[in-house]
A = this chain, B = another copy of it.
Amino acid sequence: MSTASLAFSGAGPIAAATRERVLESARELGYAGPNPLGRQLRRGRSGIVGVVIGDALARAFRDPVSTQVLDGLVGHLGPLDLGVLLVPGSAAPDAPAVDPLLESAAMDVAVVMWGGNDDDPVLSTLQRRGIPTVVVEGRKLPGVCVVGIDDRTGMAATTQHLLDLGHTRIATVTLPMDRDRHEGPVDEARLERPMWEITRRRLDGVLDTGVRPVVVYETPASLVEHGASAGRALLGEPDRPTAVVCQSDLLASGVVLAARELGLRVPQDVSVAGFDGIELPWLAPDELTTVVQPLTDKGATLGRIVEELLAGEEVADHEMPVSLRVGTTTGPPPA
């Protein structure tokens, strides 16, 4: 029995002839190799990394920012023979607090994307189950490792770039602030209340430069069409802003499209900047001014951290660098 095991795993001392004989009879008996379930129980390891997508899957999948990170992660995990299990995060506001999979599925480590807000039930569930967790782009909480980027500095750099060009009427289009996912201009009171970490940080980046946006426009998701709505709302008025800073590239590209639709030239009539540095082939020949973040690297870094957590090592938080990339969508304000 142990011999058979060795024959398949290849590890351990075994005569080549015996090995061949075992594999031969296995083939005859229609035995397809060791049952992973038995192996997992014995080893106490499932070989599975749960990836909690902190948004409706459909939305997350439509966003290259998520999928590129996921791709980098899967690429790093594959060779380690670790699989990625997709776990939906909290979806609708009235849905049960956490997906049943999160309660019951086998996973050695969890990666929580877009998560880690204050009282996140996802994190408390994982903590209760004793599953080591790494959070992407979330708030720093005790007991979990966080991988993020320097949102705030990046956003400040873009805003400063616009200030340097001479803009004074600057609007900003934000990611969702909480699970209510309101759409439209936001008032002062709302800005004081808690909001999702990533949205807060990128907003703070703008404020850090001293700019007070003429409008802060919240969107329900990082999607082109929501950017387009925001653009129509912001740029349809005669006292429109001369520059729009967006918290994501998808939103920014929507704003550019809305501007074109309204007959405004970018950047002569209005400047638009984004955040993320994804490819936007449909804006061609324009290239969006944006803050580039290392998305695939982020996935690989996550992979490395997962590896360390699995080895039982202590892991450090990571803040990855970003850089301003000036494209063709920003320029001096109209005279």
Contacts and interface: CB of A to CB of B under 8 A. Distances in A.
Interface of A: 32-33, 36-38, 40-41, 44, 46-48, 57-58, 61-62, 64, 67-68, 70-71, 74-75, 78-79, 81, 83-88, 99-101, 103-106, 128-130, 223-225, 228, 253-254, 257, 261, 279, 281-285
A70 B74 contact: no
A228 B84 CA distance: 33
Contacts of A67: 58, 61-62, 67
A68 to B, nearest CB: 7
A101 to B, nearest CB: 5
A285 B258 CA distance: 10
B282 A253 contact: yes
A261 to B, nearest CB: 7
B83 A101 contact: yes
Contact of A64 (B62, B70, B83, B104): B62
30 contacts: A32-B129, A33-B129, A36-B46, A37-B44, A38-B41, A40-B40, A40-B106, A46-B106, A47-B104, A48-B48, A48-B85, A57-B74, A57-B75, A58-B67, A58-B68, A61-B61, A61-B71, A62-B64, A67-B67, A78-B88, A79-B100, A81-B100, A81-B101, A81-B104, A83-B85, A83-B87, A84-B85, A85-B86, A228-B284, A257-B284
A37 B108 CA distance: 11
Contacts of A228: 281, 284
A103 B41 CA distance: 18
A68 B67 CA distance: 13
A306 to B, nearest CB: 14
B40 A58 contact: no
A282 B282 contact: yes
User: Which of A101, A282, A285 has most B Cβ within 10 Å?
Assistant: A282
Contacts of A129: 32-33
Contact of A70 (B41, B61, B71, B78): B61
Given A40-B106, A85-B85, A129-B33, A78 B58 contact: no
Nearest to A128: B32
A105 B58 CA distance: 25
Given A37-B106, A106-B40, A86 B57 contact: no
A162 to B, nearest CB: 24
Contacts of A70: 57, 61
A58 B36 contact: no
Contacts of A281: 223-225, 228, 254, 257
A105 B39 CA distance: 10
A274 to B, nearest CB: 14
B284 A104 contact: no
